[in-house]
């Protein structure tokens, strides 16, 4: 049976440092500009909240925060057929869009959403993921900001779930056979 491992893979402090580092890079690239943040629910909700505040601390103006719900995982298997269950409230045309997700796995979800948003002609579109499992990638896509690359492990906590559970853990750990 899969259970959370006892030792965190990333502690609260380590996550804080990663988020701060990513925010600093984004702030550097968007000096003076304002950003609309678009998060992918549900996994991105914790990272979005911390990243939005970290960006504000670095002086980036967040003009709007909104979310897209895309169908995704069941258990630990990626579903390759991505569907939009909830779309944005406003138009993104001519705006700076920062698309935020928790973890990049096969890349199918983010690629689909990125392409969809590109058709709406934002002035600038960049993706930001807290974690990345590059060895799992099935598609080619640009992700401008990555917090940390990890090995092929199924991780939970800090928004990441296993069958909807464990999202509220303040640290990140992996599911292991016990
Ligand atoms: P992709 O389309 O295969 O890149 O799937 C990305 C989505 O799958 C992420 O937004 C997560 O919601 C979920 N996911 C991928 N890997 C993990 C993991 O290790 N733990 C929890 N969720 C994951
Ligand atoms: Mg997700």
What DSSP line would sit under 75-139, residue for residue?
Answer: TTBPPSS--EEE--SS--TTSEEEEEEEEESSSHHHHHHHHHHHHT--SEEEEEEEEE-GGG--S
Q: Is the pLDDT of residue 46 over 90?
A: yes
Q: Is the pLDDT of residue 74 over 90?
A: no
- pLDDT mean over 50-71: 97
**Where residue 137 falls among pLDDT bands split at 50, 70, 90?**
very high
So what's the pLDDT on residue 71? 82
Structural domain includes residue 7? no
CA dihedral defined by 10, 101, 162, 153, rounded to 10 degrees? -50
Q: How many domains does the chain have?
A: 1
Q: What is the pTM of this model?
A: 0.95
- For tokens 């678009």, the residue is 38
So what's the pLDDT on residue 80? 64
- pLDDT mean over 88-109: 97
Q: Measured between alpha carbons, how far is 96 from 124 in angstroms, rounded to an integer?
A: 5
Structural domain includes residue 30? yes
- pLDDT mean over 142-170: 97
**Where residue 78 falls among pLDDT bands split at 50, 70, 90?**
low
CATH number of the domain bearing residue 147: 3.40.50.2020
**Where residue 83 falls among pLDDT bands split at 50, 70, 90?**
confident
Site to substitute for ligand 1 among 113, 133, 160, 163, most atoms within 8 A of C-beta: 160
Query: Is position 87 annotated as part of the catalytic site?
Result: no
Distance 171 CA to ligand 1 centre (A): 17
- pLDDT mean over 164-176: 98
Structural domain includes residue 19? yes
Structural domain includes residue 175? no
Quick one: which atom of ligand 1 is closest to the CA of 78?
Answer: 3
Find out whether the beta carbon of 160 lies less than 6 Å from any atom of ligand 1.
yes
For 162, the 3-state DSSP assignment is strand
Quick one: which atom of ligand 1 is closest to the CA of 107?
Answer: 4
Residues 128/114, Cβ–Cβ less than 8 Å: no
Structural domain includes residue 59? yes
Domain of residue 41, residue span: 12-74+82-167
Distance 62 CA to ligand 1 centre (A): 26
So what's the pLDDT on residue 77? 56
- pLDDT mean over 17-31: 97
Residues 109/52, Cβ–Cβ less than 8 Å: no
Structural domain includes residue 2? no
Structural domain includes residue 174? no
Structural domain includes residue 142? yes
């Amino acid at each position: 049976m899969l259970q959370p491992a006892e030792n965190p893979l990333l502690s609260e402090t380590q996550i804080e440092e990663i988020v701060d580092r990513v925010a600093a890079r984004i702030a550097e690239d968007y000096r003076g500009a304002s950003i609309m943040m678009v998060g992918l629910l549900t996994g991105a909700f914790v990272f979005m909240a911390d990243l939005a505040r970290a960006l504000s601390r670095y002086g980036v103006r967040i003009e709007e925060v909104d979310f897209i719900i895309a169908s995704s995982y069941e258990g630990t298997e990626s579903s390759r057929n991505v569907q939009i269950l909830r779309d944005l409230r406003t138009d993104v045309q001519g705006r700076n869009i920062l698309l935020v997700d928790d973890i990049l796995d096969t890349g199918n979800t983010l690629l689909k959403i990125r392409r969809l948003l590109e058709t709406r002609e934002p002035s600038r579109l960049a993706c930001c993921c807290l974690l990345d499992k590059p060895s799992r990638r099935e598609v080619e896509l640009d992700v401008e900001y990555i917090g940390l690359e990890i090995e092929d492990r199924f991780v939970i906590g800090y928004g990441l779930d296993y069958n909807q559970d464990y999202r509220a853990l303040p640290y990140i750990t992996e599911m292991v056979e016990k």
